[in-house]
Amino acid sequence: MKAILLAGGMGTRLRPLTAQTPKPIVPIFNRPFLHYQLDLLTSVPDIDEAILSLNYQPRRIEEVFGDGSSTGIAIRYVVEPEPLGTGGAIKYASAGVSDTVVVFNGDVLTQIDLAAVVRLHRERKARATIVLTPVENPMAYGLVDTDADHNVRRFIEKPNADDITTRNINAGIYVLEPETFDRIPDGVPWSVERAYFPSLIERHETFVAYLYSGYWIDIGAPDKYTQVHRDIMDGRFVAAPFLNLRAPRTVVSATATVSNEAVIVGPCFVDDDVSVAAGARVGPYSVIGRGSTIAAGAWIEGAILWPHCHIDRDASIHDAILGRNSRVGRGARVAANTVLGDSSTLSDYTRT
């Protein structure tokens, strides 16, 4: 069995962070995001290869993951000649594949029992299986309606209040039979959500839903990207480096240099080779990337700093995200919801 990871998007909602870093290798703590999806694939012994469907900065991604030997699953790369949409990308990546495929959207983080999804697909002899997850505000999403036996009945795009018969949305995880891909035209953009799935319903093919109410998040926007880190620190999503930690769930690398006169308040994460000077404060939900420097009197709280940032004396950063190699000058104030791209520089006493 093969898995196809749709990882070709440009990550526009995460810009400027993704201007130089494609979304699959955006760091979650000290691991590229895609590692978490690959971890999930290894929970299904039948999956022997992950096919990465790429388009944006593919070489950067291949440099990180190589042939997959460090991930526990073989990796093959397929680069779209142009963006083909979700359906077109699946067909292009599955060329030559005849067995069942598992498909993941490239921005989904979840702890779903993937083996159970595959098992349902086989038990129902389905042509396609889609994972659905409930949301609190169904009017903000396209919805997927099912019958009592979990057969998919219809997709409801941009629902009005009168249209809401379910709270379940497409979770971006599918199990598909490649013989159904003949309806997807070659080499043109095609939507699996708007064209392929409706075709299954129109042809009365077995199309079933796996309902999942556990942890699921789309990391593709700055607020959700921040939320993922907080969920891991709070134990809502179980992942390294916070496995089995008790409150206040603080991780400080053995190679970090933290002054005895600095204040570290968990939950937080301080990576390798970080320097935190006397009088500096690293507050709750902070993530300090590898090789960063926090000078005397600086205050970091609820912020995510990518590797090799330098925060000068008396600067403060609250609930913001800084790309790698960013520099914040003395006494500068970085406000909540600020997102700075790689190598950004704020001069002394700047306010954002």
Mean pLDDT of the chain: 93
Q: Give residue 136's pLDDT.
A: 85
User: b/e map of 37-72 (b: 16 or more CB within 10 Å)?
Assistant: bbbbbeebeebeebbbbbbbbbeebeeebeebeebe
CATH 3.90.550.10 residue ranges for the chain: 2-218
Q: Name, in order, each residue with C-beta under 8 angstroms of 103's C-beta and a sequence gap of 6 or more.
A: 3, 4, 5, 6, 90, 173, 174, 175, 176
**Do residues 287 and 303 lie in contact, with contact meaning Cβ atoms separated by under 8 Å?**
yes
Whether the per-residue pLDDT at 178 is higher than 80: the answer is yes
Phi-psi region of 129 (alpha: psi -120 to 50; beta: other; left: phi over 0): beta
| Strand partners for 134 | 168
Question: Is CATH 3.90.550.10 the classification given to domain 2-218?
Answer: yes
Compute how many other C-beta atoms are within 10 angstroms of the C-beta atom of residue 241: 13
Strands (E), 34-95: 49-54, 74-79
Tokens of 188: 């043109």
**Average pLDDT for residues 89-95, to the nearest whole number?**
93
DSSP 199-266: HHHHTT--EEEEE--S-EEE--SHHHHHHHHHHHHTTSS--TTSTTPPTT-EEE-TT-EE-TTSEE-S
Q: What is the DSSP letter of 351?
A: B
**Do residues 89 and 7 lie in contact, with contact meaning Cβ atoms separated by under 8 Å?**
no
**Do residues 28 and 36 lie in contact, with contact meaning Cβ atoms separated by under 8 Å?**
yes
| C-alpha–C-alpha distance, residues 5 and 59, integer Å | 16
User: b/e map of 83-114 (b: 16 or more CB within 10 Å)?
Assistant: ebbbbbbbbbbbeeeeebbbbbbbbbbbbbeb
Q: Give residue 233's pLDDT.
A: 95
**Percent of the chain with pLDDT strictly greater than 90:** 78
**Do residues 18 and 26 lie in contact, with contact meaning Cβ atoms separated by under 8 Å?**
yes
CATH 2.160.10.10 residue ranges for the chain: 245-346
Q: Give residue 22's pLDDT.
A: 92
Tokens of 201: 């319903």
Whether the per-residue pLDDT at 158 is higher than 80: the answer is no
pTM: 0.92
Q: Name, in order, each residue with C-beta under 8 angstroms of 63's C-beta and a sequence gap of 6 or more.
A: none
**Percent of the chain with pLDDT strictly greater than 70:** 100
Q: Give residue 16's pLDDT.
A: 96
C-alpha distances in Å from residue 99, one per residue of 48, 71, 160, 180, 184: 11, 22, 39, 12, 17
Q: Each residue of 213-225: pLDDT tens digit?
A: 999 999 989 999 9
| C-alpha–C-alpha distance, residues 140 and 21, integer Å | 28
Task: Look at the block and give the residue holding tokens 């190699």.
Answer: 325
Q: Give residue 291's pLDDT.
A: 98
Q: Each residue of 237-294: pLDDT tens digit?
A: 988 888 888 889 999 999 999 999 999 999 999 999 999 999 999 999 999 999 999 9
Parallel, antiparallel or unpaired: strands 101-105 and 168-176: antiparallel
**Average pLDDT for residues 184-198, to the nearest whole number?**
90
Tokens of 232: 């891991």
Q: Tell me the fold of 245-346.
A: UDP N-Acetylglucosamine Acyltransferase; domain 1 (2.160.10)
Q: Each residue of 23-41: pLDDT tens digit?
A: 999 999 999 999 999 999 9
Q: Name, in order, each residue with C-beta under 8 angstroms of 259's C-beta and a sequence gap of 6 or more.
A: 276, 277, 278, 279, 280
Whether the per-residue pLDDT at 202 is higher than 80: the answer is yes
Tokens of 131: 């994972």
Q: Each residue of 261-272: pLDDT tens digit?
A: 999 999 999 999
Whether the per-residue pLDDT at 323 is higher than 80: the answer is yes
